[in-house]
Structure 1
């Protein structure tokens, strides 16, 4: 395939651009680093066909590349923030055997470089692309609080959404992701002297202990629904009956039906101890990315292209969320995992597999040509 041969010839350039981008470390919330990474994106994507616009937000710059074409656009979602604080890696970028290692190289700066070379190939070869809108966002790793409205507004105009997150560790594309809910349950009691008159107090820690067991009982592992009461705080001193205590709860579920069931259960919690009160806050951070016939048809198109490239792609399901959760919840056909093959996401050993880079970029380019 000509596209794959072109990518293989460009591999040294691809690696040079990948290194330049990864070395501009851009942790979520690090505005200086995010601006440096956004400047790289402007340098790289600015000369391409289309119009590149920049919007400053409290979370960092958002870039939007628009390329004209027939019909409703295909939306491509790219985030350039990472989870790694600056200096987390011994070297910001290094090649080790067949791996390129660095902060965000897999999640998901590699996917952005893949898109860069897919678009460069289109211009070099004269191949037809659909109308495109590409969003580069700076806050995905912290839940996309600033950019979710922008993503959803763009998705409502799109006929399909491609997400440049990496594939699974096995190399599969992603057709389903769990929804993510973040909740805080607070128990309120009454303080008293533990040694002198403990009977006048209401122990919020004991109340919360009862409630945590009720929360755990809402899990349904057979349906893939998990609840993690993973952070607990409470009390002030060992000789004071605890007046307040709280737990942070992580919910993951494959379907909105399960999310609604769990939320109803959380809202129905009632105190055990006389005089205790409960307060529940938080909610669904990302809705589940549930497969639809349209999104599965999009996957099957990519699967056929992959077969021609020597890839055996399966429809992957993962527990973590992405910005694709938002677009899928709107009913827009969404396919995730079109970035570079690698592994160790969010770890200090995060990497992409160098020999597989051309094949993954060719897959993305050829998929775009068919849309």
Structure 2
């Protein structure tokens, strides 16, 4: 497994570099062919390469992704290594170790009948080209098992917040900031009013639907030159919600924003991306996984809900029971200290193999 992990990690697959993702897909495809005994169907949508294996009539979907957040060349500063039982490298935890564990778990089964494997290439950037494929596949299955990395201490993920992305654009009026600033409408100042008011929006959503919603300003820009009243300002928002009701409430409130200055104009773009993965979608599968773990001497298991989203949000959103976090045990997704505890890989392989058999 460590040899396979090194092969995947050293083939960099930054989401924005479609050629790199295509190269990575070929490496993943070859590992899958060797361990599953069959080549995948290669699907290229919008320039992004996805892989799919289907055996018989699919009943269990195993879902993962091979793209990473790490720009090309990261291996020079974060080389693959295994020392003292810890594997490091870009994407090792999120989620190339999960792919390795998945292939090796399936290789243990006497038959692959009823199994569908889907490995996408754009999860880290919102799954725009793979969402329809994920949802259509999940609708035909009785369970989706997501090989994203485990939560702290190896806990499975039985709940995930939903995600929305918004772009606020303020249109003002330019003017010379020294000669006649009063003739301008300062888009930066207008945006600042809305920025400060976002905390009240969060309070309003909490009052309507309960706690757990976060509205986080991320990227902001305004103006063109230092002596010009800004005619345009932009703000990106990352929204995380525990329920669909909260997601809808945020959307209603943001689209209801009105300008503070009568001469300004406000545009709200974007919207919901991933629906929440509700714990109700995971509980029966978690209970089954816990039984398998205890029977195999691996349990009991732990579960948790997290703020991050995955493609498991999509599978749960179309009504397919979903269990997430079945991948690597470690820490540091998207961070310099990203790593995998290698001793945990064989037990996770055993757990996944037993769970797939129990579902089928």
- Normalising by structure 2, we get a TM-score of 0.93
- C-alpha spacing 1:217/1:274, structure 2 compared with 1 (3 Å): same
Distance 2:136 2:288 in 1: 26
Q: How big is the shift at 1:189?
A: 1.3
Q: How big is the shift at 1:91?
A: 5.0
Whether contact under 8 Å (1:130, 1:369) holds in the other structure is no
Match of 2:258 in 1: 270
1:136 aligned counterpart, secondary structure: strand
2:282 aligned counterpart, secondary structure: helix
1:33 aligned counterpart, secondary structure: helix
- C-alpha spacing 1:261/1:283, structure 2 compared with 1 (3 Å): same
Whether contact under 8 Å (2:156, 2:301) holds in the other structure is yes
**Where does structure 1 lack aligned partners over 5 or more consecutive residues?**
1-13
Distance 1:331 1:77 in 2: 15
Distance 1:91 1:200 in 2: 53
Equivalent of 2:101, from 109, 114, 121?
A: 114
1:282 aligned counterpart, secondary structure: strand
What is the total number of aligned residue pairs between the two structures? 351
Distance 2:331 2:10 in 1: 19
- 1:241 is the counterpart of 2:229: yes
Whether contact under 8 Å (2:164, 2:238) holds in the other structure is yes
Equivalent of 1:279, from 251, 254, 267?
A: 267
**Where does structure 2 lack aligned partners over 5 or more consecutive residues?**
none
1:331 aligned counterpart, secondary structure: coil
- 1:152 is the counterpart of 2:139: no
2:135 aligned counterpart, secondary structure: helix
- 1:162 is the counterpart of 2:132: no
- 1:260 is the counterpart of 2:243: no
Distance 1:169 1:58 in 2: 35
Distance 1:42 1:283 in 2: 34
Q: How big is the shift at 1:129?
A: 5.0
2:48 aligned counterpart, secondary structure: coil
Match of 1:232 in 2: 220
Distance 1:33 1:200 in 2: 50
- Normalising by structure 1, we get a TM-score of 0.90
Match of 2:340 in 1: 352
Distance 1:208 1:357 in 2: 48
Whether contact under 8 Å (1:52, 1:64) holds in the other structure is yes
- C-alpha spacing 1:186/1:31, structure 2 compared with 1 (3 Å): closer
Match of 1:136 in 2: 119
